Each structure stands twice: as C-alpha cells, then as structure tokens.
Amino acid sequence: GLPRRVSIYEVGPRDGLQNEKAVVPVDVKSEFVTRLAAAGLRTIETTSFVHPKWVPQLADAEDLLNVLPRSPDLRYPVLVPNEKGLQRALSNGVTEIAIFGSATESFARRNLNRTVDESIDMFAPVVERAHSEGLWVRAYISMVCGDPWEGDVPIEQVVSVASRLMELGCSQLSLGDTIGVGTPGHVTALIEALGAAGIGTERLAVHFHDTYGQALANTLAALRAGVTCVDSSAGGLGGCPYAESATGNLPTEDLVWMLHGLGIDTGVDLGRLVETSHWMARHLGRPSPSRVVQALSPK
C-alpha cells in the first residue's frame, strides 16, 4: 500500500544552494524561502551553521534567519555539526536542527574532518544540549547506497552507524543517497534492515540525489515500504561540495507530480512551486534540471 499523506522536507535553500559557486544574496534566499512557503511547503531546511570556510555560500546563516518571516506553522530546520554551530543556531531562534553523519569513513573525513567515531563523539553533546533546550533533532546519514571513494556500502555498515546516531536520541533519521547511485531494490532492503534493527519507518525520511535518474523510483520504493517523509529540492537544485559526482536532489516538482498522480495529499500548489523554481533558475542563470519544471514553465 501507499500512504495517504506525505510530508515533504524541502532542502532547496540548504542542500540546493550550498554548492553554488556565486554567492546568492540574502534577499534572494529570503524570497526563495518565502515563495516556497507560499507554495505550501511547511518544512524548509534553510541553511547550515557550519564553518563558513567549508561552505561559503551559507556563511550568511545569521543574516538569513534574521530576515525570514516566522509563522507557527512553518518549520525551518538548519544543519548543525558541532557545539559551536548549535550555539549559533540557538542565538538565532532556531527550534529544529539536523546533525549529519556518514556511513563511511572516507566521507566522514572529507565532510566533517573526523572519523565516524569522532563525528559521533562530536554530535553527542550537540543532541544532548539541543534536547535540554527543547529542540527537535534530525540525523542525516550520508552514503547509504554507495560512496565515491569506497564503492558499494554494505547495508550492515549503514544500519550500524544509523543505530549509533539514533541512540543519541534523534527523532528522525534521513537516509542520504548522497551520490544518487541507489536503486529501488536496495532501498527496500535497507529500510527492511533498519526496521529489523528497531528503526521503524515512522522515524525515517529518505533523501535521494538524482545523479543516476533513480530518485523518483527510489522514493516510490520507500513509500511502499512505509516511509512518509521525503526530502526534495525545488527545481532539483543541489549537490554536495565534499562529494564528487553528487548532483541535485530529487526535484520537489517531480515528487509532487508523482504524489498527486497517486492521489497522495501534499498541501503543495504545484503551479506556484514551478513559478518559484523558474524564478530561481533565472537568477542562477541556467535552466532547472527538473522535468516537471521544464514541462510546466512558460516557453
């Protein structure tokens, strides 16, 4: 069966923009988030409190959060790797954070300058303090299907790191196919293995990059396995600066088209969303890779 309603966790302003070479002005980012909210997206990952040298595009995290319109029905989670990042987030009124671990040593080293063990030691006090401050905490786990340096990543290895991240007390685990190599059978097997290890689908989200054109098929496999939270990026923007061969996320428009076609409610106004991605594509100076944006954009 399929769920009747799916929550879309929009990552365009964070995952979508983090890899853009030219810095997007704060007022454009703010308009982007505001337009996404007006299109009906309720959870929008807006930025990261990481080291500004590591991700220069998001060095304006404070400025952006200062100008974003707040509303009780809008959630703006942000990425936080360490205590310094958490302090910055708390000083800016953040109420939802995401830590981000890696299933592989190669990516932990490149993305966090840590081994997998060291990165979990780095996250532990972050999650503890976040909870004492009443924050909601998501954990990402990257490279869940394959890794550019290590190749295939065994399911047991993903389950092992995922369990350690969830034991910190995180509320949700987002499965990141960072380089988009996964295929639906593997996704199903991974979700089943996580379930057998006690991490049920009610606590899972899926985060597919579309490098190999598998993101939508993988999403459908995850929905059939019981997942009801899906990450996507408006217009298919994106890529990870520390993972070669990572391209954009599953485009939110492609996801919405499929879900509405399946009779699954999302609360998203597809026309307004397409307009937003078309506007952003004009700003970035290149067309959106989303098939649905291309099909529905003014010619």
Token pair listed for 274:
């397409």
215/289 Cα distance (integer angstroms)? 13
Question: Applying CB under 6 A, which of residues 48, 214, 218, 247 lies at the interface with ligand HMG?
Answer: 48
Does 117 interact with ligand HMG (rule: CB under 6 A)?
Answer: no
Minimum CB distance to ligand HMG smaller for 51 or for 131? 51
Q: Which of 123, 212, 242, 257 binds ligand HMG (CB under 6 A)?
A: 242
Structure tokens, 149: 């340096």
> Could you say which of ligand HMG, Mg ion, none residue 256 binds, taking C-beta under 5 to 8 angstroms by partner kind?
none
Interacting positions 12-31 with Mg ion (CB under 5 A) = 15
Minimum distance of ligand HMG from residue 100's CB (angstroms): 4
Contacts of 208 (CB under 8 A, 6+ apart): 177, 180, 182, 214, 215, 218, 219, 231, 249, 250
**Which positions are catalytic?**
240
Distances from the Cα of 95 to the Cα of 48, 72, 132, 228, 233, angstroms: 13, 11, 12, 22, 21
Does residue 10 bind ligand HMG (CB under 6 A)?
no
270: CB partners within 8 A, 6+ apart: 253, 256, 257, 260, 292, 296
Task: Give which of Mg ion, ligand HMG, none residue 279 binds (C-beta under 5 to 8 Å, depending on kind).
Answer: none
Contacted by 100, from ligand HMG, Mg ion, none: CB < 5 to 8 Å by type: ligand HMG
Question: Could you say whether residue 176 binds ligand HMG (CB under 6 A)?
Answer: yes
Collapsing DSSP to helix, strand or coil, 249 comes out as: strand
Distance CA 223, CA 59 (A): 35
Q: Which is nearer to Mg ion, 235 or 275 (CB)?
A: 235
Q: Among candidates 293, 210, 209, 296, which has minimal Cα distance to 253?
A: 293
Q: Assess contact for 58 and 47: CB atoms under 8 A.
A: yes
Q: Of Mg ion, ligand HMG, none, which one sits near residue 12, judging by CB under 5 to 8 A according to partner kind?
A: none
Backbone angles phi, psi at 288, to 5 degrees: -70, 140
Shortest distance in whole angstroms from residue 240 CB to Mg ion? 6
Show the site string, 222-261: x = touches Mg ion by CB under 5 A, - = not. Answer: ----------------------------------------
Report the interface residues with ligand HMG, using CB under 6 A. Answer: 15, 18, 48-51, 54-55, 79, 81-82, 84-85, 88, 100, 111-113, 140, 142, 176, 178, 207, 209, 240, 242
Q: Which residues bind Mg ion (CB under 5 A)?
A: 15
